[in-house]
Chain A
Amino acid sequence: AQKVTQAQTEISVVEKEDVTLDCVYETRDTTYYLFWYKQPPSGELVFLIRRNSFDEQNEISGRYSWNFQKSTSSFNFTITASQVVDSAVYFCALSGDNYGQNFVFGPGTRLSVLP
């Protein structure tokens, strides 16, 4: 069975601090896909990144960066120089196929960035 764990339920940081959101996954599939989504207070889900299991290169997009470590089954997300607008719930997710039947979300981490 597939599972996604986000051990941090809530994190609070002060603006401009760096923060890392942890994500650990479990799957028996050799091919799988990992995602991060942001859910701001308005409620919508905003796609941030996708990564397939064969690509372990870390990725940076502006203040966001992702560290994929297959050896530890982790896909952590770091926000550098956090801003108040980063306050949201962040979901890590795992999909084992192309049609989303096994699309599993983690429980989410609520990030509060204080001014």
Chain B
Amino acid sequence: DTAVSQTPKYLVTQMGNDKSIKCEQNLGHDTMYWYKQDSKKFLKIMFSYNNKELIINETVPNRFSPKSPDKAHLNLHINSLELGDSAVYFCASSQDGWSYTFGSGTRLTVV
């Protein structure tokens, strides 16, 4: 069974559209995260969500919003997509901040 699963794996969409990326973890972890990997392969944290507490990286545009229907899910919703949003987005989870399990990534291409 996949521990952290993201869907879709690939997403191509036009500028201005709204899209969501789903993430689910079956590890029972308390904290989930979204990371953005840019074209230079640099990973930056976007959000972390722990026990209904959301911590946002202040550099993330408010067009990005995480939504957590329950502890096992942290979805990423993006409004009014821009070309610069093209990247690979990784979901991750952790129980204690000691080890992190990452999803396989979602490659978003905005055209």
Of B15-23, B39-47, B61-69, B78-86, which stretch is located at the interface?
B39-47
Task: Tell whether, in the assembled complex, residue A45 and residue B90 are in contact, meaning their CB atoms are under 8 Å apart.
Answer: yes
Give chain A nearest CB distance to B19 CB in angstroms. Answer: 19
A89, A97, A103, A108 — which one has the most chain B CB atoms within 10 A of its CB?
Answer: A103
Q: Which of B41, B50, B101 has the most CB of A within 10 A?
A: B41
CB <8 Å contact, B48 and A47 = no
**Smallest distance from the beta carbon of A39 to chain B beta carbons, Å?**
8
Is B88's beta carbon under 8 Å from chain A?
yes
Contact B42 A103 (CB under 8 A): no
Residues of B within 8 Å of A106, CB to CB, are 42
Q: How many residues of B contact A (CB 8 A)?
A: 27
Report the contact-size class of chain A (Cβ under 8 Å from the partner). Answer: 20 to 34
B88-111 vs A, Cβ < 8 Å mask (1 yes, 0 no): 101010101111111111010000
Contact of A99 with B42 at beta-carbon distance under 8 Å, contacts A43-B104, A50-B98 already known: no
B99 touches A100 (CB 8 A): no
Query: Which one of B40, B98, B100 has the highest number of Cβ atoms from chain A below 10 Å of its Cβ?
Result: B100
Chain B positions near chain A (C-beta within 8 angstroms): 31, 33, 35, 40-45, 48, 50, 55, 88, 90, 92, 94, 96-105, 107
Listed in ascending order, the chain A residues whose CB lies under 8 Å from chain B are 33, 35, 37, 39, 42-45, 47, 50, 89, 91, 93, 95, 97-101, 103-108, 110
